C-alpha cells in the first residue's frame, strides 16, 4: 500500500516536470530577454517603475522590427524584494528559459546576491538601478551598470553643499542593507575628505517603521546636514517622524532612491513633509537629453503619472541590450557581452551610454529639491531650473 | 534626561501592545503547556483581517480590530478542535511541529492571497502628535495604548474573578485533578486557546496603523512573545503584562543609547540573561 502511494506520487511528479519543461520550448520566433525585478514586496513601487520603463522600451524595439528580425519578449521574474528569490530568478531564466542576456535586479542587495550565479553561468547582466559600489567590485567581465553609483552620489552632494553655504557638520542615517551601507560608507569618506565633521552615523531596519529613537539620537548630535539613504516606505515615515520629533537641520539631503521616487512628494510617500528635501537624481523629465520629454509624455500617457529615474534606467537597459544583440548579430551570450562592451550610444533619453573597462557607464548626477510638491533641479548651476531653498524652515514655521 | 523620559514614554506605548501579545501566548502556555510557534502568524492574520475591513469597508483599524479579534477567536477555537486537540497529549516535539506547520500555512496563504507587497494604512491620527512640555506622544499610539490597557486589565479580571477563569487556573495548576473537580478540560482548553489567539489578533489590529503589513510580519513577534513570556515567568499572565511593558521600554532605551540596530539584539540578550539567571521570571513563580 505504502509502496504504491510512493510510486503514484513519483509518477505525478515526473509528469509535472515533463509538462513544465515542454511548455518552455514554445515561442521559437521571438527572442526572450530575462528581467529580474521586485514586482511585489517592500520595493514593489520601484519594481513597478522598472516594469513600466521596460514595457515602453519593448514596444519601441518591436515597432522597429525587434532584434535580428524577431520580436522581443520579456521574461519577467519577480524577486519579491528578496535576494534569495533573485538568485532563484537567475537559475529559472538562464537554466530553464535559456535567455541570452539578463537585466536586473532592482535593489543593491538582490543585485549583489545574483552576481556569482550570473558570472558562473556566463550570461551578460545589465544593472539598471543598483547604486551600491560593491556590485561593481567583482571585476566580472559579465557585469555592466547603467546607473551612477554611491560614490558619485556622495561626491555630487558634497560639491553641492560646498557651493551652497558650506556646512560643517553632518549626520548619516541609512537603511541597513547593501544600498544603505554602501551609500553610508561613500558619504562618510567623502564628507571627511571635504572637512565636514560627521557627528552621527545611524542605521535602521527598514521593516519596522519606528525610527523615532534614531531621529532622537540625530537630534542630540545637532547636525547642520542630514544625509539619508532610504527606500520609499522608510523615506516617507522618516520625514513624518522627523516632524514628530521636531528635528530641524538646515539641509535634508539624501542618496536618491526613496527620496527621489515619483511617489515621495505625494500622499503615498511623505506628502507635505517631503518639502525642502534635497536628493541626488540621475534623470528628470526635463533633463537636457534628447528624448527625455518624449519618454515622460509616453509614460504619462500610459500610466497617468510622471516617471522618476528608476523607470528610464530600466528603459535604457533594455535598449542597450537590444542594441548589443543587433550589433552581435547573434544570440550567443559571449558575443552579446562583447557587443555591450563596445556600445557607444551618444544620444539616448538617459544621456550618452558607454561602458568603461570595468563595465560602468559614466553618468552625470544632479541635485534636486522638492519645491511645491515637485522635484526641481538646483545643482549643478548650468542645468539648474531653480534656486535651492536653504535652510529648510523649522517644522513649527511651516 | 528629557530623552530618557521620552524613550520610556515611547517604550510604554509600544510595550502595552507587546503585553497583549505576550498575555495571549502565556494563556495558551499556562493552560495547555503548548508553546505556540504560530503566535506571530495569528497576529499577522489579525492584521490582514483588520486591513481588509479598512480597505474594503473603510472601517478604521481602531474599530476594525474588534471584529478581527472575534474572527480570530472563532478561528482559534476551530484550529484547537481540528489540529491541537488531537495532539495535546503527545510529545512536545509533536506540538512544536504542529504549531510551526500552522504558522507556515498561514504565512504562505497570506502570500498567496495578498502577495508579498508591503501595505500601509494611512489614517490621519497617525500624523497627529500630543505635545506636553518637551515631550511628545503619537496620538495613534496613545489610543492603542488605552485600548490595550483595557484588554490587559480585562483578561486579568476574567482569569482572577470569573468561574471560567477559576477553571482555567485549576487546569493550569493540575491537569489531572481538574477534570475530577468537574471541569470540562476540552472546553476550557479550547476557550483559552481561542482567547490567546484572539489576543494575538487584537494586538495585530492595533499594530496595523503603526507597521507595514506583509505576510511574514509576524515572525519577529513570535520571538518577542517568547521573550515576554520568559521575562514574566512561563505561563504567568500578569507576568506577561509586565514583561511586555518591560520589553518595550528596554527596546526603546536601547535604540536611544546604542542605536536602532541593537534594539532587536536586546530581546535576545534579555532572553538569555533571564533563562540563565532567573528562569522563573520577574515574579519568581513557576505557574499561572
Which residues are paired to A251 by β-bridges?
A225
Residue B125 lies in a domain: yes
* Alpha-carbon distance values, A64 to A68, A101, A242 (Å): 11, 20, 49
Residue A357 lies in a domain: no
Please indicate whether, in this complex, the C-beta atoms of B252 and A213 are within 8 angstroms of each other. yes
| CA nearest to B136, candidates A244, A333, A51 | A244
B283 Cβ partners below 8 Å, 6+ apart? B232, B233, B236, B238, B239, B242
At B285 the pLDDT is: 56
Kindly report the number of other CB atoms within 10 A of residue A26's CB atom.
Answer: 8
| Domain total in chain A | 2
Q: Which of A299, A326, A341 is the last residue of a domain?
A: A341
Give tens-digit pLDDT for B130-183: 888 888 888 999 999 999 999 999 999 999 999 999 999 999 888 888 889 889
Which own/partner contact pairs does A217-223 have at CB distance under 8 Å and 24+ positions apart? A217/B255, A217/B256, A217/B259, A218/A171, A218/A173, A218/A247, A219/A245, A219/A246, A219/A247, A220/B3, A221/A169, A221/A171, A222/A169, A223/A169, A223/A170, A223/A171, A223/A199, A223/A249
Distance CA B48, CA B30 (A): 27
To the nearest whole angstrom, how far is the Cα of B184 from the nearest Cα of chain A? 39
Facing B211 at nearest CB: one of A42, A209, A240: A209
Query: What CATH number is associated with residue B248?
Result: 1.10.3470
pLDDT tens digits, chain A, 398 residues: what are they?
Answer: 456 666 766 677 666 666 555 444 445 689 999 999 999 888 988 999 999 999 999 999 999 999 999 999 999 999 999 999 999 999 999 999 999 999 999 999 999 999 999 999 999 999 999 999 999 998 899 999 999 999 999 999 999 999 999 999 999 999 999 999 999 999 999 999 999 999 999 999 887 778 888 999 999 999 999 999 999 889 999 998 999 889 999 999 999 999 999 889 988 888 899 999 999 999 998 888 889 999 999 999 999 999 999 999 999 999 999 999 999 999 999 999 999 999 999 999 999 999 999 999 999 999 999 999 999 999 999 888 899 999 999 998 98
| Domain total in chain B | 1
Query: What CATH number is associated with residue A335?
Result: 3.40.50.2300
Burial of A358 (0-12, 13-18, 19+ CB in 10 A): middle
Residue B283 lies in a domain: no
| Omega cis (within 30) before A380 | yes
Facing A213 at nearest CB: one of B116, B117, B256: B256
| CA nearest to B197, candidates B32, B56, B59, B60 | B32
Residues of chain A with a CB closer than 8 angstroms to some CB in chain B: 40-42, 44, 80-82, 176, 202-205, 207-214, 216-217, 220, 233, 240, 244-246, 267
Regarding whether A50 and A120 lie in a shared domain, the answer is yes
Residue A347 lies in a domain: no
Quote the domain boundaries for residue A36: 28-148+289-341
Regarding whether A308 and A203 lie in a shared domain, the answer is no
Give tens-digit pLDDT for A216-245: 999 999 999 999 999 988 999 999 899 988
Distance CA B248, CA B188 (A): 31
At A120 the pLDDT is: 95
Distance CA B84, CA B34 (A): 9
* Alpha-carbon distance values, A70 to A74, A256, A327 (Å): 13, 37, 14
HSE toward the beta carbon, residue B264, CA cutoff 13 A:
13
User: Maximum distance among all alpha carbons in chain A?
Assistant: 82
Regarding whether A372 and A229 lie in a shared domain, the answer is yes
Regarding whether A252 and A155 lie in a shared domain, the answer is yes
Residue A126 lies in a domain: yes
Distance CA B171, CA A269 (A): 51
In chain B, the percentage of residues whose pLDDT exceeds 90 is 62
Distance CA B73, CA B192 (A): 10
* Alpha-carbon distance values, B163 to B156, B191, B269 (Å): 13, 13, 39
Regarding whether A242 and A101 lie in a shared domain, the answer is no
Distance CA A83, CA A366 (A): 29
Regarding whether A156 and A141 lie in a shared domain, the answer is no
Regarding whether A230 and A326 lie in a shared domain, the answer is no
Residue A91 lies in a domain: yes
Please indicate whether, in this complex, the C-beta atoms of B255 and A213 are within 8 angstroms of each other. yes
| Phi-psi domain of A65 (left: phi exceeds 0; alpha: psi -120 through 50; beta: other) | left
Positive or negative: CA dihedral A297, A302, A304, A307? negative
Please indicate whether, in this complex, the C-beta atoms of A267 and B122 are within 8 angstroms of each other. yes
Distance CA B174, CA B194 (A): 20
Regarding whether A320 and A211 lie in a shared domain, the answer is no
pTM attached to this predicted model? 0.82
How many A×B Cβ pairs under 8 Å?
A: 69
Displacement of CA A33 from its chain's centroid (Å): 19
B86 Cβ partners below 8 Å, 6+ apart? none
Burial of A92 (0-12, 13-18, 19+ CB in 10 A): middle
C-alpha radius of gyration, chain B, whole number: 18
Residue B14 lies in a domain: yes
Regarding whether A370 and A316 lie in a shared domain, the answer is no
Picking from A210, A215, A395 by the largest number of B CB atoms within 10 A of its own CB, the best residue to mutate is A210
Quote the domain boundaries for residue B42: 2-277
Positive or negative: CA dihedral A85, A152, A319, A41? positive
Residues of chain B with a CB closer than 8 angstroms to some CB in chain A: 3, 6-7, 10, 14, 115-118, 120, 122, 126-127, 129, 136, 138, 210-212, 214, 217, 220, 252, 255-256, 259-261, 263-264
Residue B288 lies in a domain: no
Q: What is the DSSP string of A130-176?
A: ---GGGGTT--TTEEE-S--HHHHHHHHHHHHHHTT---EEEEEEES
Residue B64 lies in a domain: yes
What cell does A172 get? 548619516
Element (H, E) at B159: helix B139-161
- Binning chain A into helix, strand and coil, the percentages to the nearest 5 are 45, 20, 35
ipTM exceeding the 0.85 mark: no
Regarding whether A242 and A175 lie in a shared domain, the answer is yes
Regarding whether A115 and A195 lie in a shared domain, the answer is no
Residue B231 lies in a domain: yes
Amino acid at each position: 500500500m505504502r509502496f504504491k502511494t510512493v510510486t503514484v506520487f513519483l509518477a505525478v511528479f515526473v509528469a509535472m516536470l515533463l509538462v513544465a519543461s515542454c511548455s518552455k520550448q514554445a515561442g521559437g520566433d521571438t527572442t526572450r530577454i530575462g528581467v529580474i525585478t521586485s514586482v511585489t514586496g517592500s520595493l514593489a513601487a520601484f519594481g513597478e517603475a522598472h516594469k513600466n520603463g521596460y514595457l515602453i522600451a519593448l514596444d519601441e524595439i518591436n515597432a522597429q522590427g525587434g532584434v535580428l528580425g524577431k520580436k522581443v519578449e520579456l521574461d519577467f521574474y519577480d524577486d519579491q524584494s528578496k535576494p534569495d528569490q533573485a538568485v532563484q530568478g537567475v537559475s529559472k531564466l538562464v537554466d530553464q528559459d535559456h535567455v541570452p542576456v539578463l537585466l536586473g535586479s532592482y535593489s543593491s542587495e538582490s543585485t549583489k546576491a545574483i552576481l556569482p550565479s550570473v558570472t558562473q553561468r556566463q550570461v551578460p547582466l545589465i544593472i539598471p538601478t543598483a547604486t551600491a559600489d560593491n556590485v561593481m567590485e567583482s571585476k566580472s567581465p559579465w557585469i555592466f551598470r547603467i546607473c551612477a553609483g554611491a560614490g558619485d552620489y556622495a561626491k555630487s552632494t558634497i560639491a553641492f553643499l560646498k557651493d551652497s553655504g558650506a556646512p560643517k557638520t553632518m549626520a548619516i542615517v541609512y537603511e541597513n542593507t547593501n544600498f544603505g551601507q554602501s551609500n553610508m560608507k561613500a558619504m562618510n569618506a567623502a564628507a571627511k575628505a571635504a572637512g565636514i565633521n560627521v557627528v552621527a552615523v545611524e542605521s535602521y531596519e527598514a521593516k519596522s517603521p519606528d525610527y523615532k529613537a534614531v531621529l532622537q539620537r540625530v537630534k542630540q548630535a545637532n547636525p547642520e546636514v542630514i544625509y539619508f539613504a532610504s527606500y520609499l516606505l522608510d523615506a516617507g515615515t522618516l520625514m513624518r517622524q522627523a516632524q514628530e520629533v521636531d528635528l530641524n537641520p538646515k539641509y535634508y539631503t539624501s542618496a536618491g532612491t526613496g527620496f527621489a521616487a515619483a511617489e515621495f512628494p505625494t500622499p503615498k510617500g511623505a506628502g507635505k513633509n517631503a518639502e525642502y528635501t534635497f536628493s541626488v537624481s540621475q534623470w528628470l523629465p526635463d533633463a537636457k537629453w534628447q528624448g527625455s520629454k518624449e519618454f515622460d509624455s509616453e509614460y504619462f500617457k500610459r500610466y497617468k503619472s510622471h516617471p522618476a529615474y528608476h523607470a528610464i534606467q530600466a528603459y535604457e537597459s533594455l535598449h542597450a541590450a537590444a542594441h548589443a544583440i543587433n550589433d552581435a548579430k547573434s544570440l550567443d551570450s559571449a558575443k552579446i557581452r562583447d557587443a555591450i562592451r563596445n556600445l557607444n550610444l551618444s544620444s539616448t533619453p538617459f544621456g550618452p551610454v558607454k561602458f568603461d573597462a570595468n563595465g560602468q557607464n559614466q553618468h552625470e548626477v544632479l541635485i534636486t529639491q522638492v519645491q511645491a510638491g515637485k522635484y526641481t533641479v538646483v545643482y549643478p548651476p548650468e542645468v539648474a531650473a531653480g534656486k535651492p531653498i536653504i535652510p529648510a524652515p523649522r517644522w513649527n514655521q511651516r | 534626561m528629557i530623552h530618557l523620559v521620552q524613550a520610556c514614554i515611547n517604550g510604554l506605548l509600544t510595550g502595552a501592545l507587546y503585553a497583549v501579545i505576550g498575555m495571549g501566548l502565556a494563556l495558551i502556555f499556562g493552560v495547555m503547556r503548548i508553546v505556540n510557534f504560530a503566535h506571530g502568524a495569528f497576529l499577522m492574520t489579525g492584521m490582514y483581517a483588520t486591513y481588509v475591513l479598512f480597505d474594503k469597508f473603510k472601517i478604521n483599524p481602531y474599530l476594525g480590530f474588534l471584529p478581527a479579534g472575534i474572527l480570530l477567536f472563532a478561528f482559534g477555537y476551530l484550529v484547537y478542535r481540528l489540529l491541537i486537540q488531537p495532539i495535546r497529549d503527545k510529545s512536545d516535539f509533536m506540538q512544536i511541529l504542529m504549531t510551526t506547520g500552522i504558522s507556515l500555512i498561514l504565512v504562505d496563504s497570506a502570500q498567496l492571497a495578498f502577495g508579498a507587497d508591503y501595505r500601509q494604512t494611512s489614517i490621519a491620527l497617525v500624523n497627529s502628535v500630543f505635545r506636553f512640555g518637551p515631550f511628545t506622544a503619537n496620538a495613534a499610539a496613545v489610543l492603542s495604548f488605552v485600548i490595550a490597557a483595557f484588554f490587559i486589565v480585562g483578561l486579568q479580571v476574567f482569569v482572577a474573578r470569573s468561574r471560567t477563569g477559576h477553571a482555567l487556573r485549576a487546569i493550569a495548576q493540575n491537569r489531572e485533578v481538574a477534570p475530577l473537580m468537574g471541569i470540562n478540560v476540552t472546553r476550557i482548553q479550547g476557550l483559552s486557546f481561542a482567547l490567546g489567539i484572539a489576543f494575538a489578533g487584537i494586538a495585530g489590529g492595533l499594530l496595523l496603523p503603526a507597521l507595514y503589513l506583509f505576510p511574514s510580519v509576524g515572525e519577529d513577534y513570535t520571538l518577542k512573545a517568547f521573550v515576554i513570556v520568559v521575562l514574566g515567568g512561563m505561563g504567568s499572565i500578569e507576568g506577561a503584562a509586565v514583561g511586555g511593558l518591560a520589553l518595550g521600554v528596554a527596546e526603546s532605551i536601547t535604540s536611544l543609547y546604542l542605536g536602532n540596530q541593537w534594539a532587536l539584539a536586546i530581546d535576545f540578550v534579555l532572553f538569555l540573561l533571564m533563562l540563565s539567571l532567573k528562569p522563573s521570571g520577574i515574579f519568581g513563580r513557576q505557574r499561572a
